[in-house]
Amino acid sequence: MLEISTNDKVSIMLVDDHAIVREGLRAMLETDAGFEVIGEAENGERAVSLAQELQPRIILMDISMPQMDGLEATKLVKRLLPQCTIIMLTMHHTESHVLQAIQAGASGYLLKDSPRKEVLEMIRAASSGGVLISSSLLRGAMNFAMKPSVEDSLEMDALTPREHEALILIADGKTNKEIAQRLDVSPETIKKIVQNVIGKLRASDRTHAAVRALRAGII
């Protein structure tokens, strides 16, 4: 029986239909003492089932898989476990795939040929609350399929000047600690500010808030 980890390590689940890819990812991640791979799945259907059992903090999810692809699996996992952060790790690099991943609920997007350092940094950012898709990649996806939204612009008007500043830094991928340092406020204060931003924009998470800022044309 699979055991759920109870230590302070960042728990990670790997989802890819190629065993050799999962083996390589596991070997890479286990070089970092702060990470722990707690499960693997070979398709989206199995990923949804295993995620409910193990409740990982982070899932590295492939897109193209048999039985159920990663996009559909991401939608289901986020519906069942909204606190779980999903990072797409795929060979697809088109704007349409990035957009579909965001709409499915993914918070991050990486290509499989990304440098080891970039993969590890994204997972660390995920564990500390950073936005996991670069503003340039988000902008490309938004330009591909969306026009500026009047609704998004109106909701931006509800933000205070300080919340507006924080949103720009969120969209730039900054963590709470980095935003607090930039705005010269305490970590507790910035946590409340970020929560207010997400709430006022009716966003599901930081990445969604950044998407709304892009659609409103403020960044």
More confident position, 76 or 119: 76
Higher pLDDT, 198 or 208: 198
Express each pLDDT in 9-41 by its tens digit.
899 999 999 999 999 999 999 999 999 999 999
User: What was the pLDDT predicted at 6?
Assistant: 47
Residue 141's pLDDT is 55
Residues of the chain with CATH 3.40.50.2300: 10-127
HEC-encoded secondary structure of the chain: CCCCCCCCCEEEEEECCCHHHHHHHHHHHCCCCCEEEEEEECCHHHHHHHHHHHCCCEEEECCCCCCCCHHHHHHHHHHHCCCCEEEEEECCCCHHHHHHHHHHCCCEEEECCCCHHHHHHHHHHHHCCCCECCHHHHHHHHHHHCCCCHHHHHHHCCCCHHHHHHHHHHHCCCCHHHHHHHHCCCHHHHHHHHHHHHHHCCCCCHHHHHHHHHHHCCC
| pLDDT above 50: residue 144 | no
Task: Please report which confidence band the pLDDT of residue 210 belongs to, taking 50, 70 and 90 as the band edges.
Answer: confident
- Domain limits, CATH 1.10.10.10, in the chain: 142-216
Residues 163-173, mean pLDDT to the nearest whole number: 85
CATH 3.40.50.2300 for domain 10-127, yes or no, is yes
Task: Give yes or no for residue 1 having a pLDDT over 50.
Answer: no
Which pLDDT does position 208 carry in this prediction? 77
Mean pLDDT computed over 186-190: 91
pTM value is 0.67
Does residue 51 or residue 124 have the better pLDDT? 51
What mean pLDDT comes out for the span 77-87?
93
Question: Is 79's pLDDT higher than 60?
Answer: yes
Q: What is the structure's pLDDT at 27?
A: 95
Tell me if the domain spanning 142-216 has CATH number 1.10.10.10: yes
